[in-house]
Amino acid sequence: MHSDAIPTVIPPVSGVTALAWVGEAPADIDCQSVELYSQDQLNLIKQDIIIVQSCANQDQILCSLRQQTSTSLSLILIETPSLLSPYLANGQWSGEWQQEYDAFIKRKKLWNLKPNNNVELMLLSYLWLHPEASMLPRKVPVQPHLYEYPLLALWGVKSCNQVEWLNRLTDKGWLEHLQLENRARFSPCCHSSRLNYLDTCPSCQSIDFQLQTCLHCFNCGHIGAETQFRKQSGLECPNCYQSLRHIGVDYDRPIENHVCKTCHTMFAEAPVSAQCLECNELHELSALVTKNFYSYGLSLAGQLLARQGVVANLFADSEGNQMSLAQFCWLAQWQNKLAKRHGQTHTILSVKLTDGALLSERGMPLHQLETLQERICSIVRTTDACTQYTEEGMLFLLPFTLPGCLSSLISKFTELQETFTLPLHFDFRAVGLPADTGMNFQQWLMASLAQSELINR
Ligand SMILES: [Zn+2]
Ligand SMILES: [Zn+2]
Ligand SMILES: [Zn+2]
């Protein structure tokens, strides 16, 4: 398959051979541009592009290459797919690889983030260098955590913590959800997915009960199995000996048609609970922990970070004046309490860039993005507010402001919209404080913003 696929001239990059080939050399390959490595020499590979020849332990090779610092971010191509290749490799080796390689080198030149073994920054770098890659969850049904992200596992993030870890990066605005791949439930006792769903007797929790056709005597109110009512002459109540002729007049069939074999209680429906198979504990379904497994990609802010190499956010000013969403909520909640006590009015404004993904897809030039970032920062700096960027947008806490008096801040964003050639679109929503927010302020805030009307400009 290689005979016409490989171009004969490959430019050497700063003295290092361009390609590393793991396996036996194909006969027609140009020896000057390719360096061969055996499976025992993986630790010697320094190249940016690595081809792994099909072999029985391909997955093991991919794991080793991703684990060692020198090749963790390299462009790795494979001959044939394997179990882990969708998660650890960057596609199949083909005649078109030269273009792929050039694109990789171009992106590498623009990349200014130095991860220094920081796994968060390594992931951002990986997604920057391989723009078609995403963090995909892999199903591992034999494991109690059900899904894992193989690259993160290799980089030392424990499988049971990976979802929280990725969501933290999403909270920071660096990653974004691409698609919801699956949802699963885990026991609150040991976070296991090995759950047995049990229907039980509502009175004694026994699992031993059966379906039974029952009758209800109107004369004395007795309820019992239909077999106890059957006599040769017809139906007769075993309690009051009344003969039962007409359904609806003398008797009916109650909805309680389950009988517990342990405590003999009759009931209509057996409630379902979840038994943790690790420790046998029974949990109500509402007590189970729900986890969403998404695929993740680099957000606009994440792309900027990978390019600029400074931990900045599209919406944070250069002094890094940014608080976490939890801090923002704590502050807003505290202001809410004060507002209630002293009769003050505050507003939380959300500004959302609605087509951020679209901008990066269409390839908004990064220098334009950088200008956009600068301009947004200057708005934030000159406003007496604190902000936090979430998937819901930029959040501003505006003290002593009525929701109706936001026009000056909004007009600053509208002006910004007009100075860019590419279509920028911001959505504005606002909620007022004080409010009855319930126990979970963040949940209240997100729900209230979602329900609030878009502010017309
Ligand atoms: Zn358990
Ligand atoms: Zn029972
Ligand atoms: Zn009766």
CATH number (domain holding residue 366): 3.30.70.270
Rounded Cα distance, 11 and 322, in Å: 45
In three-state secondary structure terms, 439 is coil
Q: Which of 67, 92, 110 is the last residue of a domain?
A: 110
Closest ligand, as measured to the CA of 263? 2
Burial 410-437 (b: 16+ CB within 10 A, else e): bebbeebeeeeeeebebebbbbbbbbeb
Ligand 3 centroid to Cα of residue 244, in Å, is: 9
The verdict on residue 56 lying in a domain is: yes
Q: How far apart are CA 39 and CA 45, in angstroms?
A: 11
Higher pLDDT, 191 or 315: 191
pLDDT at site 1:
39
Q: How far apart are CA 348 and CA 450, in angstroms?
A: 13
Q: What is the DSSP letter of 393?
A: E
On the question of pLDDT at 320 being above 70, the answer is: no
Other CB atoms within a 10 A radius of the CB of residue 210 amount to 9
Residue 349 lies in a domain: yes
360: how many CB neighbours lie within 10 A of its CB? 19
Listed residue (24, 25, 65, 21) closest to 42, CA to CA: 65
Residue 10 has a pLDDT of 47
Beta bridge mates, 351: 394, 428
pLDDT of residue 8: 40
320 with 232, same domain: the answer is no
Please report which ligand is nearest the Cα atom of 220: 3
Looking at the domain assignment, is residue 248 inside a domain? Answer: yes
Q: What is the pLDDT of residue 181?
A: 96
At 174, the pLDDT band (50, 70, 90 cuts) reads: confident
For residues 270 and 259, the answer to whether their CB atoms sit within 8 Å is: no
Residue 2 pLDDT grade (very low, low, confident, very high; cuts 50, 70, 90): very low
- Per the domain annotation, does 400 fall within a domain? yes
- C-alpha angle 394/400/402, rounded to 5°? 75
Same domain, 248 and 355: no
Same domain, 423 and 321: yes
**Cβ atoms of residues 51 and 26 within 8 Å:** no
Could you tell me the distance, in angstroms and rounded to a whole number, from the CA of residue 266 to the centre of ligand 2? 8
Integer Cα distance of 196 and 272 in angstroms: 10
Helices (H), 89-211: 97-110, 119-129, 150-154, 162-171
Q: Are residues 444 and 378 in the same domain?
A: yes
CB atoms within 10 A of CB 142: 6
Asked if 414 and 387 count as a contact pair (C-beta separation under 8 A), the reply is no
Distance (angstroms) between ligand 1 centre and the Cα of 156 equals: 25
Query: Mind listing the pLDDT tens digit for each residue in 238-297?
Result: 999 999 999 999 999 988 889 899 998 888 889 999 999 999 999 999 999 999 999 999
Do 210 and 266 form a contact (C-beta atoms < 8 A)?
no
Instruction: State in Å: Cα 189 to ligand 1 middle.
Output: 4
Quote the ligand 1 centre to 389 CA distance (angstroms).
36
Average pLDDT of every residue of the chain: 83
What pLDDT score was predicted for residue 407?
Answer: 81
Give pLDDT tens digits for 23-75.
886 666 666 678 889 989 999 998 888 999 999 999 999 999 999 999 999 99
Question: If you measure from the C-alpha of residue 258 to the centroid of ligand 3, how many angstroms do you get, rounded to a whole number?
Answer: 20
Do β-strands 138-139 and 147-148 pair in parallel, antiparallel, or remain unpaired? antiparallel
**Ligand 3 center–CA 254 separation, angstroms:** 14
- Greatest alpha-carbon pair distance for the chain in Å reads 104
Ligand of minimum distance to the alpha carbon of 203: 2
- Which residues, by Cβ under 5 Å, contact ligand 2, an ion? 201, 203-204, 206, 260, 262-263, 265
Specify the DSSP class assigned to residue 25: P
pLDDT bin (cut points 50, 70, 90) of residue 318 is very low
> What are the b/e assignments for 274-284, b being 16+ CB within 10 Å?
bbbeeeeeebe
List own/partner pairs for 270-274 with CB under 8 A and 24 or more apart: 270/199, 270/200, 270/201, 270/202, 270/209, 271/199, 271/200, 271/202, 272/197, 272/198, 272/199, 273/197, 273/198, 273/200, 274/185, 274/187, 274/195, 274/196, 274/197, 274/198
Q: Which of residues 270, 296, 330 is at a domain's end?
A: 270
User: Quick one: pLDDT at residue 188?
Assistant: 93
Rounded mean pLDDT of 149-159? Answer: 95
Asked whether residue 161 is assigned to any structural domain, the reply reads: no
pLDDT at residue number 241: 93
Ligand 3: centre distance to CA 301 (Å)? 75
- Separation of 278 CA from ligand 1 center, angstroms? 5
| Cα–Cα–Cα angle for 7, 48, 364, rounded to 5 degrees | 95
For residue 324 the two structure tokens come to 């976490």
pLDDT higher than threshold 80 for residue 390: no
Coil, helix or strand for 88? Answer: helix
Q: How far is the CA of 268 from the centre of ligand 1 (A)?
A: 29
Residue where a domain terminates, one of 77, 110, 143: 110
**The token pair that represents 302 in the structure block:** 């994440």
- Beta strand extents in 53-203 (DSSP E only): 75-78, 138-139, 147-148, 175-186, 195-199
pLDDT at 329 over 50: yes
Determine the pLDDT at residue 364.
59
Query: How remote is the CA of residue 214 from the centroid of ligand 2, in Å?
Result: 17
Q: Which domain holds residue 372?
A: 312-451
Residues that place a CB less than 5 A from ion ligand 3: 217, 219-220, 222, 237, 239-240
Sign of the torsion angle spanned by Cα atoms 204, 205, 210, 216: positive
Predicted confidence band of residue 3 (pLDDT cuts 50, 70, 90):
very low
Examine the domain organization and report whether 336 and 260 are in the same domain: no
| Whether residue 209 is found in the same domain as residue 99 | no
Q: Do 327 and 440 lie in a common domain?
A: yes
Asked whether residue 255 falls in the same domain as residue 324, the answer is no
Tell whether 26 and 89 lie within a shared domain: yes
Distance 244 CA to ligand 2 centre (A): 29
What's the pLDDT tens digit per position in 213-232? 889 999 999 988 888 999 98
Q: Are residues 27 and 99 in the same domain?
A: yes
Distance CA 98, CA 19 (A): 11
Q: Is residue 64 within 8 Å of 46, Cβ to Cβ?
A: no
Residue 247 lies in a domain: yes
Does residue 359 lie in a domain region? yes
Question: Could you identify the residue written with the tokens 């699963």?
Answer: 184
Q: What's the average model confidence in pLDDT over 395-403?
A: 80
412 within a domain of the structure (yes/no): yes
Long-range contacts at 401-410 (CB < 8 A, ≥ 24 apart): 401/345, 401/346, 401/347, 402/345, 402/347, 402/432, 403/347, 403/430, 403/431, 403/432, 405/347, 406/347, 406/349, 406/430, 406/455, 409/349, 409/379, 409/383, 409/385, 410/455, 410/457
> What's the residue count for the chain?
457
Which among 208, 191, 331 is positioned nearest to 262, based on CA atoms? 208
Same domain, 105 and 230: no
Q: 312: pLDDT confidence band, cut at 50, 70 and 90?
A: very low
The mean pLDDT of 376-387, rounded to a whole number, is 67
Give the β-pairing of 266-267 and 195-199.
unpaired
Reported confidence tier of residue 303, pLDDT bands at 50, 70, 90: confident
- For 190-212, the pLDDT digits (tens) are 999 999 999 999 999 899 999 88
Q: Are 92 and 77 in contact (CB under 8 A)?
A: yes
Give the tens place of pLDDT for each residue, 403-448.
777 888 888 888 887 777 666 778 888 899 899 988 888 889 888 9
Residues 94, 3 share a domain: yes
Domain tally, the chain: 3
Per-chain residues with Cβ under 5 A from ion ligand 1: 187, 189-190, 276, 278-279
